[in-house]
């Protein structure tokens, strides 16, 4: 089973929920797909036993074969190739590695070469399996790295995915195929605004979901009213506590020091099991 943990915006406590959920349930695997800013490992401190570079194929032009017909530029949806009079330019950082240009070049003037975008790493901490991706600095092409991290999904484990914040392409790449999604929010106007956007995405993807309200005793009641009106289950509330904040700032998962919360995360997991669509 795959449970993704997402939030419409950063800073709501998404990683805290993903990490503590993974540490509280049996037989879990945590995959941190927030590859631009992975930080689950700070709290898990896994022993990394495998590091693999991840590449995307980008075009390389053999200008001795090219007649500058412009077909490759026409088919590239990402403006990664520009054909000028007697010259051709490739912008590898814009290329999504779709292969259309090399496939459709009438003169077979394009070959694909690998460009490294980051690394995928796996390891363990006790019985917990762990994986994450680290995107190269300045690199924009995160979905292929997210896909590489997701390929480590262990079908006999409960896979917890830490999803990048927001509602864009990397989020879809991370959430797609999940059995359930936990949306982490905080009860503030900004939190509610981004929660509404995330709910729209999950409804389009047809993935069952529920909400965790972090710092639940701050802010206002609008988020609760929205969830009631939209019939969205509130799976768990985490109050603002200085002890949790201090543990977070020192890189410690709070359930390690506050075991009473392990029971709450386990309870949420059992509740999720009742909401997952049956095959």
Tokens standing for 46? 């896994």
Is residue 272 near ligand SF4 by the rule CB under 6 A?
A: no
Tokens standing for 156? 């006999």
Is residue 131 near ligand SF4 by the rule CB under 6 A?
A: no
Is residue 75 near ligand SF4 by the rule CB under 6 A?
A: yes
- Pattern 140-179, binding to ligand SF4, x per CB under 6 A? ----------------------------------------
Residue 47: exposed, middle, or buried by beta-carbon count in 10 A (0-12, 13-18, 19+)?
A: exposed
CB contact at 8 A, 262 and 22: no
Choose which of 72, 161, 171, 207 interacts with ligand SF4 (CB under 6 A): 72
CA distance 259 to 237: 16
Is residue 71 near ligand SF4 by the rule CB under 6 A?
A: yes
- Cα 90 off chain centre by: 29
Tokens standing for 22? 């993974």
Is residue 125 near ligand SF4 by the rule CB under 6 A?
A: no
Is residue 78 near ligand SF4 by the rule CB under 6 A?
A: yes
- Pattern 25-64, binding to ligand SF4, x per CB under 6 A? ---------------------------------xx-x---
- For ligand SF4 (CB under 6 A), the number of binding residues is 28
Is residue 117 near ligand SF4 by the rule CB under 6 A?
A: no
Choose which of 3, 6, 35, 80 interacts with ligand SF4 (CB under 6 A): 80
Choose which of 3, 21, 101, 149 interacts with ligand SF4 (CB under 6 A): 101
Is residue 111 near ligand SF4 by the rule CB under 6 A?
A: no
**Quick one: 144 or 210, whose CB is closer to ligand SF4?**
144
CA distance 209 to 204: 12
In whole angstroms, how close is the CB of 170 to ligand SF4 at the nearest point?
A: 17
User: Cα–Cα distances in Å, from 113 out to 57, 61, 101, 219, 229?
Assistant: 5, 10, 13, 51, 52
Q: Near ligand SF4 by CB under 6 A, which window of 15-23, 81-89, 154-162, 168-176?
A: 81-89
CA distance 200 to 195: 9
What are the helix (H) ranges across 25-179? 40-44, 71-75, 100-104, 143-150, 169-175
The residue behind tokens 């406590």 is 13
In the chain, DSSP finds a helix count (H) and a strand count (E) of 11, 11
| First vs last C-alpha separation in the chain | 11
Is residue 95 near ligand SF4 by the rule CB under 6 A?
A: yes
In whole angstroms, how close is the CB of 117 to ligand SF4 at the nearest point?
A: 13
CA distance 174 to 65: 40
Is residue 83 near ligand SF4 by the rule CB under 6 A?
A: yes
Please give the residue ranges that form the binding site for ligand SF4 (CB under 6 A): 58-59, 61, 66-72, 75-76, 78, 80-81, 83, 88, 95-101, 105, 107, 109-110
């Amino acid at each position: 089973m795959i449970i993704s943990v997402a939030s419409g915006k950063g800073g709501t406590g998404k990683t805290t929920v993903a990490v503590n959920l993974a540490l509280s349930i049996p037989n879990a695997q945590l995959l941190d797909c927030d590859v631009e800013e992975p930080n689950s490992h700070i709290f898990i401190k896994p022993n990394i036993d495998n590091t693999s570079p991840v590449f995307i194929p980008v075009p390389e032009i053999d200008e001795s074969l090219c007649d500058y017909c412009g077909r490759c530029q026409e088919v590239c949806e990402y403006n990664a190739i520009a054909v000028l009079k007697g010259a051709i330019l490739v912008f590898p950082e814009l290329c999504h590695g779709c292969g259309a240009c090399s496939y459709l070049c009438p003169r077979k003037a394009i070959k694909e070469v690998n460009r490294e975008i980051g690394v995928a790493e796996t390891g363990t901490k006790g019985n917990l399996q762990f994986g994450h991706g680290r995107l190269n600095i300045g690199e924009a092409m995160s979905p292929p790295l997210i896909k590489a991290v997701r390929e480590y999904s262990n079908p006999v484990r409960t896979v917890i995915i830490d999803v990048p914040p927001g509602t864009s392409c990397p989020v879809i790449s991370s959430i797609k195929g999940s059995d359930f999604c936990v949306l982490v929010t905080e009860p503030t106007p900004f939190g509610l605004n981004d929660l509404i956007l995330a709910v729209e995405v999950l409804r389009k993807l047809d993935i069952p979901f529920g909400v965790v309200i972090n710092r639940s005793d701050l802010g206002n009641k609008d988020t609760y009213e929205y969830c009631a009106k939209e019939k969205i289950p509130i799976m768990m509330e985490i109050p603002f506590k200085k002890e949790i904040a201090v543990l977070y700032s020192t890189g410690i998962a709070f359930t390690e020091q506050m075991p009473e919360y392990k029971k709450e995360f386990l309870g949420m997991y059992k509740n999720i099991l009742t909401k997952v669509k049956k095959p």
